Amino acid sequence: MMNRRASYVILAAATVLVIALLAAEAADPVLYTAENITTGAHADPKTIDGQKNNAAAVVPLMDELLDQTGTLTLTIKLRDYESAERDLARYSELTSQFDRLVITLDASETELGEFQRNNRKNLEALASLLNDTRRFDHLQRLEIQVQDGDQRRAIAYEGEALRQKMQKTYSAYASRESVMTGIGERYGLNTTPYRESVGHFSEIVDAADDWHRATAPQQSPLGITVTPAEGRYGETIRIAGRYARGTPGTPVEIYIDSRAAGTATLNADGTYAWPYRIDRVAAGPHLVYAAADAVYSGVESFQALPDETAISLAVAGASGTTVTCTGNLTTIEGLPVAGAPVSIRVDGETLVDTETGEDGTYEQVIALPAGEHTLRAEFHGGGFPLNASESETATIVVRGEGLPLIPFVAALAAAAGTAWYLRRRETPEAAPIPQPSQAIVHQPPPKVEIADLAPHEAATVLFGALRDRLGIKKTKTPRDCARIAPDYAWFFERYEQIRYGGEEPTKEEIRRMKDVILGGDEAAA
């Protein structure tokens, strides 16, 4: 008795323990997948295979990237812009793939990382080359069509600006050749297409030079100087000059990279000055020229130097399933960066985009499912003379909105339905019970031979014999028989226990049952 109680207590304790352990995992029921293995002690072969595949994919991808530079520069050289667009799109896609791979393999600090950074710059250079060449073509066509002297001069100036820009892009591209081919050769890649691409690039720039020599602008009476010749984000450079022939008050248009950037006014002494704040321009060289009274100045340039940035992230749980991410983006000197795109990476995957305000701060509300999430703010630097930066990773637990109502109601309904079904099975519909007087027809006692039979077989024979004697149909079960002939209920119930309960009858019981068959009604009850 004591043992029985102890076993129940142990069972109950074990049940409670298991339920508690399971309940702790109920919010996040995926206990294990090959992807989320992080323990040093256990490495899943599938994950390792995946990394091997990644590593194996690096070399063909690098080969394809180098190959693509050759193809792209060739199509640009041949002025097949449609194919060039396609090649550039393909090159851009391969570059993105490679970037992801380098991040997956955590190889940014290795040679692969260097290759990736140079390749990114090459992509920008080739995209710029395609645009510039196309614009150059357009200018050449315009030059033929346009007869007006001023317009021809404008075309010549823009051509000059483009030429200088292309020259600078080429120098940067050519300077990366040794590094790229060096890494490529160490990985056993075919670097010939890349070398060819440098050659093609050079030919495209030379063609632009030739055109320039034919259309070179004359010495201009409108002077221009840019001081200082280089600057960082937020710094101001001064674009100034003298226009001896101009009348005071003449507007002087300032062009940066062939786009109108602002207007200065000519002073009484024939000079003009315009401050330009380095803001939304990419790092690298930029060309400046001025125009007044359809007179164009010479072309000057300034260099936007890349600056480091710092981005912060603070996460606060707002309501239910949303969190508010705030932070600010500054240069390393603490200057706020306004209007810059900021991406918030959720759980290392999804990106949510936002933008900094005038004071360099940003705020973004993100809806998240319940559970633990990691968030990180990233600035990619595109379009600014600023380097990319990332914030610290913040972790937040989103509680969610508690138990959702619909599943809860569904669970209650299901429980109620099951209870109803089980209760219905407990109380079967009562079959119509025939009246004993109508059903029982007493027959003469039959002859039964049970001497050689096993006790439970003997009971079966006796049950059949009594049923026959009382004239009850053979389809009736012992329980039916007990209802039809309540006087013999003990006989039928005992038989049911023997037949279906697996109990073994004693010799005495068999004898009593036999007596009922032979002895008639007086033996009953």
CB of 416 to other proteins, least distance (A): 9
Helix (H) or strand (E) holding 326: strand 322-331
Q: Please, are residues 229 and 303 in contact by the beta-carbon 8 Å criterion? A: yes
CB of 317 to other proteins, least distance (A): 21
Nearer to other proteins, 190 or 420 (CB): 420
Nearer to other proteins, 500 or 521 (CB): 500
SS3 per-residue string spanning 461-523: HHHHHHHHHCCCCCCCCHHHHHHHCHHHHHHHHHHHHHHHCCCCCCHHHHHHHHHHHHHCHHH
Residue type, position 339, single letter: G
**Interatomic CA distance for residues 158 and 138, integer angstroms:** 11
**Interatomic CA distance for residues 366 and 346, integer angstroms:** 9
CB of 15 to other proteins, least distance (A): 10
Nearer to other proteins, 268 or 403 (CB): 403
CB of 50 to other proteins, least distance (A): 11
CB of 364 to other proteins, least distance (A): 21
Nearer to other proteins, 32 or 41 (CB): 32
Nearer to other proteins, 62 or 459 (CB): 459
Q: Please, are residues 240 and 227 in contact by the beta-carbon 8 Å criterion? A: yes
Nearer to other proteins, 351 or 406 (CB): 406
Nearer to other proteins, 217 or 505 (CB): 505
| Sheet with 271-277, side-by-side order of all strands | 225-227, 236-242, 271-277
Nearer to other proteins, 155 or 366 (CB): 366
Nearer to other proteins, 390 or 496 (CB): 496
Compute, in degrees rounded to 10, the torsion defined by CA atoms 466, 470, 476, 478: -40
The residues pairing with 286 across neighbouring beta strands, listed in sequence order, are 302
Q: How many CA atoms lie within 13 A of 18 on its CB side?
A: 6
DSSP states along 126-168? HHHHHHHHHHHHHHHHHHHH---HHHHHHHHHHHHHHHHHHHH
Provide the 3-class DSSP secondary structure of residue 336: strand
DSSP conformation class of 219? P
* Helices 455-469/507-519 angle, 10° precision: 20
CA of 232: how far to CAs of 244, 276, 385, 463, in Å? 32, 12, 7, 108
Binding site for other proteins (CB under 8 A): 22, 25-26, 29-34, 44, 46, 404, 406-415, 417-419, 422, 426, 477, 479, 496, 500-502
Nearer to other proteins, 46 or 52 (CB): 46
**Interatomic CA distance for residues 378 and 108, integer angstroms:** 16
**Interatomic CA distance for residues 472 and 245, integer angstroms:** 134
What is the radius of gyration, based on Cα positions, of the chain?
Answer: 46
The two structure tokens encoding residue 472: 């009850």
CB of 7 to other proteins, least distance (A): 14
CB of 31 to other proteins, least distance (A): 4
CB of 408 to other proteins, least distance (A): 7
Nearer to other proteins, 37 or 127 (CB): 37
CB of 516 to other proteins, least distance (A): 22
CB of 420 to other proteins, least distance (A): 10
Count Cβ atoms below 10 Å from residue 503 Cβ, excluding itself: 15
Nearer to other proteins, 427 or 437 (CB): 427
Residue type, position 16, single letter: V
CB of 487 to other proteins, least distance (A): 22
**Interatomic CA distance for residues 311 and 516, integer angstroms:** 99
CB of 429 to other proteins, least distance (A): 15
